[in-house]
Copies of this chain bind each other. A is one copy, B any other.
Amino acid sequence: MKKALIALAVLGLTGGAAVAQSSVTLFGVLDADVKYVKTGSLTLKKLDSSGLNTSRFGVRGTEDLGGGLKAGFWLESEVNTDTGVAGAASGGAFWARRTTVSLSGDFGEVRLGRNKSVSRLHVEDFDPSAFTGLGNVGVLYSNLGSGNGTSFGRADNQVSYSLPGNLGGFYGAVDVSAGEGVGTNKGIAARAGYKAGPLHVSGAYATTSNAADTDKFKLASIGAAYDFGVIRPAFSYTENKYQARKQEILTVSATAPLGQGQLWGSYTSAKTSGEVGFATVGTPKLLALGYIYNLSKRTALYTTVAELKNDGTTRFILGGSPATVAGAAGLGAKSTGFDVGIRHSF
């Protein structure tokens, strides 16, 4: 949903031809919703941030170096629309969403810095909510007690490589994150896919270390979507493993144009099994439905309903819900939510 909306002319440093090809862009999203959430018997009405897309503020740019070579940079900071807090929700650092410098050309692209792992990008592609808001499929993803969700989010100290964009629909990328003495910072992720015409298929694999750097959390995932025009069904299947623990997550979803917007729905089942006594054993399920009404390409009104049913010993909750399922009383608790919001990007 992020778009380059403002191109500032670059003056004085490069010739006339390069001016048209180099740019610095200020961009962002401000998204707020009025949300009603209920978990077990506890309810909460709130003004929340990022119901449809994560609110953010960023600066990015590219420079044409000639001969097909380009340099680029990207600074992106999360914004909590309801409180004005910057950065905190995605890792504490101000520019925690992304801080990279890159070089790209015929060989592909190399990026250095803090960034989202390619395995996370893979899974988001097959979730209509892209891991955001009440319908966020990500709430069911567990790190299985490994102490590490890096393969499922963003990582510091990352070097990533992406194949060039001219491979007839085929694409691929790999990233490596240096631990620098912290086991849970150490990770590697790879992704390959094909996207052309109505078809999109993709697979990803990632591992990250636990704190002691003795065992690895492993993620393997496949996804596919086909756009029939009137409807775009999609699915993804992901296996997370850590020691004797395993999580099998299936998401089926569909997006359909409706009036001046899109209707979408997703269903996710996340079966966790393995070690006795591990707190999230069971098969919780998430059902989410939403409608996005586009006032323009940049501005939309939206509404979402979602229901998350816990199972066995699982205690997952919807994003933004009051956290009542932590205790024994939370066994089997249900978490539901409804919101109405506005998203404006610049």
List A residues at the B interface (Cβ < 8 Å): 3-14, 24, 26, 28, 30-32, 34, 44-47, 57, 59, 61, 63, 65-66, 69, 71-73, 75, 79-87, 91-101, 103, 112-114, 156-159, 178, 180-181, 295-299, 322, 342-344, 346
Contact with A11, one of B6, B61, B75, B114 (Cβ below 8 angstroms): B6
Asked if residues B59 and A26 are in contact (CB atoms below 8 Å), the reply is: yes
Q: Are B73 and A83 in contact (CB under 8 A)?
A: no
- Asked whether A6 lies within 8 Å of B6 as measured between CB atoms, the reply is no
Tell me, rounded to whole Å, the shortest Cβ–Cβ distance linking A50 to chain B: 11
- Listed residue (A99, A100, A298) with the most chain B CB atoms within 10 angstroms of its CB: A99
Asked if B13 and A82 make an inter-chain contact with CB atoms under 8 angstroms apart, the answer reads no
Contact of A63 among B13, B63, B296 (CB under 8 A): B296
Q: How far is the CA of A9 from the CA of B75 in the complex (A)?
A: 21
In the bound complex, CA of A296 to CA of B32 (Å): 38
Q: Are B73 and A113 in contact (CB under 8 A)?
A: no
- Can you list 19 A-B pairs with a CB-CB distance of less than 8 A? A3-B13, A5-B10, A5-B11, A5-B24, A8-B26, A30-B100, A31-B101, A47-B113, A47-B159, A47-B180, A65-B299, A71-B296, A72-B344, A79-B95, A83-B114, A84-B91, A84-B96, A101-B344, A103-B342
Q: Would B95 and A84 count as touching, CB distance under 8 A? A: yes
CA distance A289 to B113 in the complex (A): 25
CB distance from A36 to the nearest CB of B (A): 11
- Picked from B6, B47, B81, B157, the residue with its CB within 8 Å of the CB of A82 is B157
In the complex, the answer to whether B63 meets A99 with C-beta atoms within 8 Å is no
Q: Known A-B contacts: A57-B59, A61-B346, A86-B95. Give 10 more (CB < 8 A).
A: A30-B101, A32-B101, A65-B295, A75-B79, A79-B95, A80-B99, A83-B93, A84-B95, A84-B99, A94-B94
**Which residue in B9, B85, B101, B113 is a CB contact (below 8 Å) of A93?**
B85
Taking CB atoms, residues of chain B closer than 8 Å to A10 are: 5-6
- Given A12-B5, A47-B178, are A97 and B84 also a contact pair (CB < 8 Å)? yes
The CA of A5 and the CA of B25, in the complex, are separated in Å by: 13
| CB <8 Å contact, A298 and B47 | no
Contact of A113 among B32, B103, B296 (CB under 8 A): B32
Given contacts A296-B14, A346-B73, contact A30 B85 (CB under 8 A): no
Which one of B28, B97, B159 lies within 8 Å of A73 (CB-CB)?
Answer: B28
* Chain B residues, Cβ within 8 Å of A84: 87, 91, 93-99, 113-114, 156
CA distance A3 to B11 in the complex (A): 11
**Of B112, B342, B343, which contacts A81 at CB under 8 A?**
B112
Q: Which of A63, A91, A112, A297 has the most CB of B within 10 A?
A: A112
**Interfacial chain B residues near A11, Cβ < 8 Å:** 5-7
By the criterion CB–CB under 8 Å, are B296 and A65 in contact?
A: yes
Contact of A46 among B31, B92, B157 (CB under 8 A): B157
- Interface-central residue, A5, A59, A84, A346, by most chain B CB under 10 Å: A84
A83 touches B295 (CB 8 A): no
Contact B112 A32 (CB under 8 A): yes
Cα A26 to Cα B7 in complex, Å, equals 12
Asked whether A344 and B26 contact (CB < 8 A) given A44-B180, A181-B44, the answer is no
**Docked-complex contact B295 and A47, CB < 8 angstroms:** no
Q: How far is the CA of A6 from the CA of B6 in the complex (A)?
A: 13
